[in-house]
Amino acid sequence: MAAPLASKAGSAGTTSKPPFPELDFRSGARVEELNKLIQEFTKHDQREYDDQRALEIHTAKDFIFSMLGMVQKLDQKLPVANEYLLLSGGVREGVVDIDLDELNVYARGTDYDMDFTLLVPALKLHDRNQPVTLDMRHSALCHSWLSLRLFDEGTISKWKDCCTIVDHVNGATNYFFSPTKVADWFYDSISIVLSEIQKKPQRGMPKVEKVEKNGTIISIILGVGSSRMLYDIVPVVSFKGWPAVAQSWLMENHFWDGKITEEEVISGFYLVPACSYKGKKDNEWRLSFARSEVQLKKCISSSLMQAYQACKAIIIKLLSRPKAISPYHLRSMMLWACDRLPANYLAQEDYAAHFLLGLIDDLQHCLVNKMCPNYFIPQCNMLEHLSEETVMLHARKLSSVRSDPAEHLRTAIEHVKAANRLTLELQRRGSTTSIPSPQSDGGDPNQPDDRLAKKLQQLVTENPGKSISVFINPDDVTRPHFRIDDKFF
């Protein structure tokens, strides 16, 4: 409740400055101090890349795309001209809605310096101009089975071995695309390709430090010069258009109305290899709106994004056991908050502390009520399967954060600073190493890559935190084909 206003008689000649610094009622923390701590966290969390680091990022990306081109050529299963979605941040950072309980724990600074998620379409349905109707008869909300009857005979023949087979009473056979079998095939194919690549190493080629199958995603850590980069590669099914189950969401008012077009928001969606709590892992896929979220992110204020990143850093550590809350839940709550609150309020540059406290309150409210609606399919409650014991355990942990947010922010700052120190130490050890392109085989390899490094440095500077959509032809992996939001390069 707002403090009562001073009487007009007593306010003559006075300023509007309050007699006390602005405090958080629950914890007693100074809002100004919380703002400064969030700014300090942001400063250490968002690193700047010099030309050498930009070149290392490009070298790793080039290696991953070359590898995927070779995977396509193994058995021609992947589309010949494919469109990937490259997201900054790994799966553990909540960039896509995939369960974290099957993933090995990797720590920034200890295991990697930068992390990315790459969505790789195994199948594409890109020729539809109407709402896409999926087979949701056997699955929970926000999930679907995928019958290959939607595809031609050639596609069915290629992917039969990655399907579960259901015979109907009338004698017809239905092939359902299996996320677990697709992930097994993808991991085996990547392992074969990497084994072949490592038999004939080229000058400047990244070192493959780790290749692991984490549930249905493949995690690869590459060493390039003084950098270690984690790529979480996710096999997906890609659709143009919009799913019929989310059609009603388009009828509502949203914070992005008038800022970006509806066509940008509903340009496509994915099925990612994740099932519901009681679903059949071999058959069930989860709807993902990662492409839309890239667009919506452009409409979120920097102060709210800073609060979100700080809050995410706190909850990843605090709520890791048992795994019930993921950063994706927090992202959904942030999007709902953007719809709920006035745009001019969310645009306030010095309100990051208010936003952080609000996100913690929102998350605790969702836990206590065991209710977190999916932003695009609100009838899907993402916390429905949790036990009362689990939600109350996490709610109590959050209560400790809410009682002393400054201390938890300081801990998050120390963690990110420690990770950066480990990265800098590795950089110092490898600072004398020159990093040419993996394609280089002699001559003067650095000249074209130096120019590309400078371009990448400029792109990173101009587009902090943005996601990259990549269109690549596996028959020509020497040229970059990538897009940052709506700009092509």
A 10 A CB-CB count for 127 gives: 7
Structure confidence at residue 475 as a pLDDT band (50, 70, 90): very low
| Tokens representing residue 447 in the block | 């000249």
d(CA 338, CA 346): 7
Q: What is the pLDDT of residues 404-455, one digit of tens each?
A: 999 999 999 999 999 999 888 877 776 534 333 333 333 333 333 444 445 5
Amino acid occupying residue 72: Q
> Which stretches does DSSP call E strand in 92-226?
114-125, 143-144, 163-167, 173-177, 207-214, 217-224
Query: In which residue are the tokens 């800022």 written?
Result: 259
Looking at residue 470, its pLDDT comes to: 46
pLDDT of residue 80: 86
Of 255, 296, 293, the C-alpha closest to 272 is 293
Global pTM? Answer: 0.84
| Alpha carbon distance 405, 402 (integer Å) | 5
Helices (H), 256-384: 262-265, 290-297, 302-318, 327-340, 343-346, 352-368
Helices (H), 319-387: 327-340, 343-346, 352-368
The residue among 238 and 100 whose pLDDT is bigger is 238
Q: Answer for the pair 74, 192: CB distance below 8 angstroms, yes or no.
A: yes
pLDDT for residue 436:
37
Q: Within 13 Å of residue 335, how many CA atoms lie on the same side as its CB?
A: 24
| Mean pLDDT estimate for the chain | 84
Residue ranges covered by each domain of the chain: 31-428
Judge whether 120 and 217 are in contact, CB under 8 Å: no
Which tens digit of pLDDT belongs to each residue from 111-166?
999 999 999 999 998 765 566 778 888 889 999 999 998 888 888 999 999 999 98
If you classify domain 31-428 with CATH, what class do you get?
alpha beta
From residue 104, give the alpha-carbon distance in Å to each of 139, 215, 223, 308: 27, 9, 19, 24
Among residues 210, 229, 271, the alpha carbon closest in space to that of 116 is found at 229
**For residue 146, how many C-alpha atoms fall within 13 Å in the half-sphere facing its CB?**
34
Cα separations in angstroms, 426 against 63, 85, 108, 430: 21, 29, 13, 6
* Per-residue pLDDT reduced to its tens digit, 28-86: 999 999 999 999 999 999 876 677 888 889 999 999 999 999 999 999 999 988 899 99
Nearest to 177 by CA among 89, 64, 298, 270: 270
Neighbours of 368 (CB within 10 A): 14
Of 474, 363, 226, 464, nearest to 484 by C-alpha is 464
Tokens of 252: 């509502």
Please state, in angstroms and rounded to a whole number, the distance separating the CA atoms of residues 397 and 204.
47
For residue 367, pLDDT over 70 is answered with yes
Say yes or no to pLDDT of 298 above 50: yes
